[in-house]
Structure 1
Amino acid sequence: MRYFVERVNDLNALDIGKLVQESEKEGYRFVTRLVSEFEDGTNTFSKPGEALFCVVSEEGEVVAIGGINESPFAQDAGIARLRRFYVLEKVRRQGVGTLLQQEIVDYAKNQFKEITVRTDSAKADAFYRACGFEFDDSASETTHILRFR
């Protein structure tokens, strides 16, 4: 199966119901927060340098989502935060997450000098390290950093 990464300008135009349901079942609320923050305008990934992306299957199903924001934890506007990154279980370990991550990194390296993320999942830790992030928990809100320059 082939997958395509698309930039998301209007989250309401996407059907991400499966992402929300599955992430909730796994105990993750960040996809639900993505929807509510987009609806109330708290985070629409529309500040300078920010972007939201999704991965769509050939059949048009949204199978992954993730975006990049200015880090709310940094004083430096050149530091980004990977946010709301989720991949449906049925397509994990098929390169979908890597495809999405690479698109986000390719975009972000022209906008920011580094990306931070926080995870408490061993699987996510392994994924981020495989994508070039370094483990760095020197700040309480960060576990991994990818530096561009």
Structure 2
Amino acid sequence: MINVHKIENLLKLDITDLLEQSQIEGFRFVNRLLTDYQTRINTFNKPGEALYGVFTTDKTLIAIGGVNIDPFLGDPTIARLRRFYVLPEYRRKGVGTILLEKLLQEAKQNFCLLVLHTDTEQADQFYTSFGFTKVDDGPNYTHELKVGD
């Protein structure tokens, strides 16, 4: 059994497993998430923004992801999916799907377009299965999905 919860203060959570596993896989964005949160560069607190975690019944954080106003495009109607990470042992078990569906629900309430950047084939397949379109010429993003009017 797992639960998805909005994260109000990342600094109160133990994200050690996420940090270690993401670094082993060569991903730096979980570390950037923590650094940006600590320095208050990005705390997912602007209108429409949210950071969510997926937790096991014993409150272990197994996945994380958020939605921000896209910092590169300068348009408050465009959101960016950011810092999306699922521990390897929980992949292909529905955890990422549950988290992404929650983030899509959040984005639909506040934005017209949701963009993201990924450079892995596995992530590309995951996002396109949700209707994201691969964009070859997107400025600072690789995929987009219309989420609102």
TM-score (norm: length of structure 1): 0.97
Please say if 1:118 is aligned against 2:87.
no
Shift of 1:58: 1.3
Match of 1:42 in 2: 41
Q: Which runs of 5+ in 2 are unaligned?
A: none
Shift of 1:75: 2.7
Match of 2:127 in 1: 128
Tell which deviates more after alignment, 139-148 or 3-12.
Answer: 139-148
Match of 1:16 in 2: 15
Match of 1:95 in 2: 94
Shift of 1:131: 1.7
Shift of 1:70: 0.4
Q: Distance in 1 between matches of 2:53 and 2:78?
A: 22
Deviations 1:62-118 (A, max 9, x none): 000000000012132100000100000000000000000000000110010011001
Match of 1:29 in 2: 28
Tell which deviates more after alignment, 128-137 or 105-114.
Answer: 128-137
Tell which deviates more after alignment, 130-139 or 8-17.
Answer: 130-139
Query: Between the two proteins, what is the percent identity of the paired residues?
Result: 43
CA RMSD across the alignment: 0.8
Superposed structure 1 runs of 4+ greater than 6 Å apart:
none
Match of 2:85 in 1: 86
Number of aligned residues: 148
Match of 1:52 in 2: 51
